[in-house]
Amino acid sequence: GLPTLPRLSLNSPLALTGPVLVALPCLLAALFGMNTYAPYGADAAFGIAVGAAAVVAMAQTLILAARPPLVEPLFGGLDRMYRVHKWLGISAMVLMILHQQIEPDFERLVRETSLGDLGEEAGELAFNALLALVAVSWFRRLPFIGLEIPYQLWRFSHRFMGALFAIVVFHQFFVDMPAGVDPTFMLVLNAFGIAGVVAWIFTELLAPHLRRRDFTVSQIRQTGDTTTLTLRPEGRAMRWRPGQFAFFRAPEAGLSEPHPFTIASAPRPDGTLTFSIRGLGGWTRSLPAILRTGTRVQVEGPYGRFNFRKGGARQIWLAGGIGITPFLAWAESLTEAESRDIHLIYCVPTQDEAIGVETLRAAVARNPRFSFEVFVTARDGRLTAERLISATPFAVRQADLWFCGPTGLKDGVLKGLKAQGQTPRRVRFEQFEFT
C-alpha cells in the first residue's frame, strides 16, 4: 500500500542526528536561494528556493546510497539510513514538481546562450525521467491491487538516478540566470551537485571492487523453504559483530544482484560465516537449484547496529520465522561468563521450519541464564502477549525486548503488552525490509 513514515526505535542517542543533518542543508539551501533571488519577486525567489532544496536533497540521496560507514551510526543503522534515503528522494520529487510549476522567468533579465537553452532542455528531460523513477521507487508495491515490481527491475531502474541527477547538475551549471546575482549561492549548490555525482560514480564503479570480498560455498543445507549457506573466505576474512547483516551475490551462478541478509553465525577463527535465506521470491527460491559446494560468491559488509550487548540485564528476544537469524548469531556468541538473563521466543508456522535449534541448545548448555522455546503456531496458535508473559521467566516490564520478524507479530504483541501493563523497558528492532 501507500508508504508510511516509520516509527523510530532508536538504537543510539545519535540516531536522530543523521535525519537532522540531512534536513538542515535542504532548509538552508532553500533559505539561501530565497534570500538571493528576493529582489526578482516572490515567485522567482520561491521557485529558486524549492529547486535548490530539491538539488540538495537528491545529492544527499546519492551520498547515502554510497553507504558511507562513518555516517551509518548517526542514523542508528543502515536500515534507518535507507529509510531517510527513501524519504529524501520523495521530498526531492515533490520539490521538483513545485519548481516546475513555479519556474522562475528571467528571459528579460538575461542574455540567452546556446548552453543556457541546452541546460533548460536538459532540466526538462531530467525532471520527467526522475519523476518516473522516484514514482517507481515509491510505489514498488502498487496500492490497492497488490502488484509488486520485481526487485531486479526496480534496482535496474534505480541505478539511473545518478545519471539523471548529473543532467540536473548540468542544468544548474549552464541555465541562463541574471548577471547581477551573488555567485556564492550557485557555488554552494554546484558543490552539492558535484558531491552527489561523485557519490554515484563511486557507488557504481568503485565500491563493487573495493568493498566486496570473495567467498566459496563450503556447505548447503535445506530446511523447509530455508537454505543455509556456509561460506569460506578466499583471502582476507570479513570482521563483523553478531547481529549485523551483509549483501550477498553469486555472479558465477547468474545471481549478480546483491541482496541483504543477516549473518546467522558469530565470528569464527577460520572466518567462515553462515546465511540462512528463506525462499520468499524468485531470487531466493532459486538458490538451492543454482548454488553448489565450491561456487564462488561475493559478500559486502558488514552493516547494521543490532547489538544486544548494548541492552539491559534482562532481555527478551522475539523472533518470527527467518527473523531468528540475528538471534542465532547472538546465541552462538554467548559464553559461560555472560551475566544477562535472556529468554528467546522463536515463532515458526510448523516444527519442521525451525532452524538453528542445535545452536540454541548449545548456548543453553554453555550458559544457564539463557533459555528459549520454539512456539509453533500450527500447534500452539498465534503468540499473544499473555502467552509471552507466562513464558518469560522474569517480568516483561523490567526487560528489554529485541525483535526481528514480520511487523504484524511485533505490533500485535506490543499492543497486547501495553494493555496488560507489561510494556518492556525498551523495544529494539531493525527494519525487516528496507528497499
Beta strands in 170-254 (DSSP E): 212-223, 226-233, 245-250
The continuous run of DSSP H or E covering 125 comes out as: helix 114-138
Residue 6 is predicted with a pLDDT of 35
Element (H, E) at 137: helix 114-138
- Return the number of other C-beta atoms located less than 10 Å from residue 212's C-beta: 19
Whole-angstrom CA distances from 425 to 11, 188, 326, 402 are 13, 45, 21, 11
Question: Integer distance in angstroms from the first to the last C-alpha of the chain?
Answer: 14
User: 500500500: which residue's cell?
Assistant: 1
| Cβ within 8 Å of residue 114, ≥6 positions away | none
The three-point CA angle 192-67-214 to 5° equals 140
Quick check: 147 and 153 in contact, CB under 8 A? no
| pLDDT for 364 | 95
Is the bond into 68 cis (omega within 30 degrees of 0)? no
Phi, psi for residue 312 in degrees, rounded to 5:
-85, -170
- Amino acid identity at 376: V
Here the cell at position 255 is: 545471481
Region of 313 (left: φ > 0; alpha: ψ -120 to 50; beta: rest) is alpha
Residue 369 has a pLDDT of 94
pLDDT tens digits along 173-232: 776 566 667 789 889 999 999 999 999 999 988 988 888 999 999 999 999 899 999 999
* Gap between the Cα atoms of 40 and 36, Å rounded: 9
Yes or no: say if 287 and 272 are a contact pair by the CB < 8 Å rule: no
Gap between the Cα atoms of 77 and 15, Å rounded: 8
Instruction: Give how far Cα 406 sits from Cα of 82, 86, 239, 367, 403, Å.
Output: 18, 20, 28, 29, 9
Identify the bridge partners of residue 232 per DSSP, sorted by sequence position. Answer: 216
Task: Compute how many other C-beta atoms are within 10 angstroms of the C-beta atom of residue 36.
Answer: 19
Q: Are 87 and 57 in contact (CB under 8 A)?
A: no
Query: Residue 421 CB: number of other CB atoms within 10 A?
Result: 8
Answer whether 288's CB lies under 8 Å from 227's CB.
yes
The residues near 121 (Cβ < 8 Å, ≥ 6 apart) are none
DSSP result, 318-341: EEEGGGGHHHHHHHHH--TT--SE
- pLDDT for 226 equals 93
Residue-level pLDDT, tens digit, the chain, 435 residues: 333 333 334 444 556 788 899 999 999 999 999 998 888 888 888 988 998 999 999 999 999 999 988 888 888 888 888 889 888 988 888 888 888 788 766 555 555 555 555 666 666 777 777 777 766 666 666 555 556 666 666 677 777 788 888 888 887 777 656 666 778 988 999 999 999 999 999 998 898 888 899 999 999 999 989 999 999 999 888 999 999 999 999 999 988 888 899 999 999 999 999 999 998 878 888 999 999 999 999 999 899 889 999 999 999 999 999 999 999 999 999 999 899 999 999 999 999 999 999 999 999 999 999 999 999 999 988 999 999 999 999 999 999 999 999 989 999 999 999 999 999 999 998 765 544
Q: CA-CA distance, 193 to 271, in Å (whole number)?
A: 40
Give the whole-number percent of the chain exceeding pLDDT 70: 83
DSSP state letters, 357-389: HHHHHHHHHH-TTEEEEEEEHHHH-S--HHHHH
pLDDT at 234: 94
CB 311 within 8 A of CB 419: no
Sign of the C-alpha dihedral computed for residues 7, 259, 248 and 268 taken in this order: positive
Nearest one of 301, 280, 264, 265 to 79, comparing CA atoms: 301
Which H or E run contains 139? Answer: none
Count CB-CB contacts under 10 A for residue 330: 25
> Residue 145: which residues within 8 A CB-CB, separation 6 or more?
none
CA nearest neighbour of 122 among 197, 172, 160: 172
